[in-house]
Structure 1
């Protein structure tokens, strides 16, 4: 084919980030600029064009693509190097691990001079011998420290501090998570958080593990602290009673003195009020704090004449109960608020100062009870009351949440999120407050179920929710990891229990089974090898466990057992078996045993012989047959008659002998 074929390489765009350090007001700030450099390979274009011109377009020029054309090395943003220490050229290429190439510095002398920013060149040589030179920005320093390598970035967030408080440094250095472990971040000097001021430049020190340090500025505005008087709310008692010209301690007129600072000063605004007899007039208490701020509150004061007839109220001290509880609109008996009403006069009258307090819900607020005596004198005392709405279904029932899991896009029934829905009243309705939460995958997020009772009262129940892509349960094999024991040792031909080869059975499901993948491995002596156990889970999934094994030759026995059994013809054991260990090759002699009610029927095995390793040859079984029992005849008394008959015969014989002897004597 005639003509010219021209391959032109595409331009390659390299994005190089240069870090430029700019120092302003002694504080290092870091700015980054982006430099786009374009490198176009023109040599082949020019060569191809020249060739075409020289030969009139008759000689085609082919440019074969090389690895240098295919791969693009990317330089790091900025390479830090220590004086006279040549870094690995591969460290200057961001993607060096992805390139089939070696890397070398074109000129290593750049590392012999301290330089804030110098261009170094790395020659990238590919496996096909094609090359490419990459420019890299290098910073050469006397000593390479963490402070040079890391560039802290301060937060631009406005920092407002109350005078006298030390602000937290959390979030002040936004890239602190990139610092090496052990880095300390602290406020530097001067750090004045006591004096109010706007836009105070306060340094933050970043101290690295190698002792080097960076400092960044933080703009801080310090506000004056609020007056103490704004932080406290002193409360006066309802009534101060004193004698004429007796000024009571002002602090005694405060109900909550123990809630105020210990150094607070309490005074009367005008002590002259106590120089005249008065009944329930207002006088001011002045509470002065250490910072000079004050609170002023009115107190009812009664000044009595000591020479006047004392009122009945002076003789009694009613005591309030701890708490009066009622529901909205129900005014309790005022006497129920007096703990010692039985100790007061029988004709005393009890009333609430303001019954309107029971018209709305309140919690632990004070209301006055007035005790009026027969002489019209009275005591007034504060009682804590709590007024609650009438009990609703929401008050009487407590729904209990249970965690729920569903698939994306599937809204489960809200009732399924309650563990005790069956304990709630009939007619209770359940709904999700926000169903959009089921549209995205989420784990352990909070969802809210709205529980509406038949009386329209409502409970809002927080439920732990997990939304997954697929509810298909994960195979058990993915949840567990069977581990092998260190070594399984057995004799040739003996297959060990596969269960015993698993080291962590107690961590696995109890319904698992374990089998050897190939039991034939135990038929050959093996010094050291691995074989597999198949771990079967209840859900049908499996794990393969590689187990180290050693298979040895069977041990040679030196002794064997000699065994004697005693059984009846039915195979039932009559006596315990006799088992003795004897040296193989020695002789043995069995001994028969007589058993009451039985006679020997047969012998299985040899009663005597030479002890063999095969114990079946050393085993004898004596088989006994049960004897038949003799029938018992009935007792007719005949045996006794025979005895008497014998005795009679003997008597007759003795008598005959005597007669014969007497006859002979007479003849003589």
Structure 2
């Protein structure tokens, strides 16, 4: 690939520093059978990072320019067509797929030497010619002893268990040649020891060296005619397949390498007596079939017979789950099967926990099944949580906002709503004194509870002589209210507002906040 640039209207090779790299894209093509030119793409990357593809043409040469076939003499019988391929000595050096033909037919009518031209055609279609000598041989055949005489094989029959001998095989070969014309008769193959119609090649060689091969057939009697297998009952466990060989009582009397199998698998799914047919296969391939009794016993333990299936068990927090509830298929298990936990299940905390059920069968065998125990807390949110409030201090004429007086909002579940349900007229904002407001706490699960809030309406500033400016921050843990009058106010989302109020000396001296009775919570 040559890279050029144009300067002053003239193209010249580009400086080497202008070309960063040249890379072949894909594979370099190999020559095709027709010898056609091949192309390959080269990617040129310039110094500034730009790229350009260039096409390179690969012109492969013709096969005739790469190879040199060598001729050799071809011998052929008078009147026959010589093989063109036989006239090339170095065919193995030429490419696969090369063909050879005579340029013109070779005249083989006259014995002696003549010439012929072989056209060698390569896979790419290129050709070249090679001139060779063709030797035409005039052969007037003379009859050999094999052609003059005829040999024939015979049949050897042997009972099962006996083997045909070399002399017995040769003894059944016949020929019409006189004894002096027979040089030898030899068994060529190994003599088989079993089977029917087994061929054995025998070579007859005559005095002139010519030979003929004949076939002697050897027949052996069948083992099934020579043996009588005796059946016997088989005892087998339920679900197991019995050994067919165990159903034959006199295996020691049968020939070595005899095999045993069932005509069909024996059904042992039901205890009791059934039957099966044993196929006795002898080494010669012949067979006998014997029907035998199969006694099916069920010796499995209950643990082996049954498979308990576990399932999830639901239980309330703090309660003991029933292990029997953890087995899905109790009806499939035997009567009087017992179920117990391997170790006590911890149900102190809600959530999933594992448990292992020990299944004890009537026969005393056991097996273990691991199950999930889902521990749930049945209490409502109102039972679980204790909202705490702080007092509300307002000046005369101000309206109290009690919905932000719950101090432990972060401890309550998200979505909890607070509503001021203080009955109208309960708090007189124009009359100094202490009052009690009521809040309704509504939880996400729909449960509710009410708490009280101490409300103090301060005396007018002109009638009070302050003693100190101490801020009242005591938390009022209010008692739940079980009754309520007309409700005022709206539900509001949880919010925390810090309220600080400076009370008068008299108010601070007499203010004791009611504490909400705490519920007993096993969780906390």
- Report the TM-score range of the alignment, normalised by the length of the smaller protein: under 0.3
Q: TM-score, normalised by structure 1?
A: 0.21
Of the two structures, which has the highest relative contact order with CA contacts closer than 8 Å and spacing of 6 or more?
Answer: 2
Higher percent of residues as helix: 1
Q: TM-score, normalised by structure 2?
A: 0.26
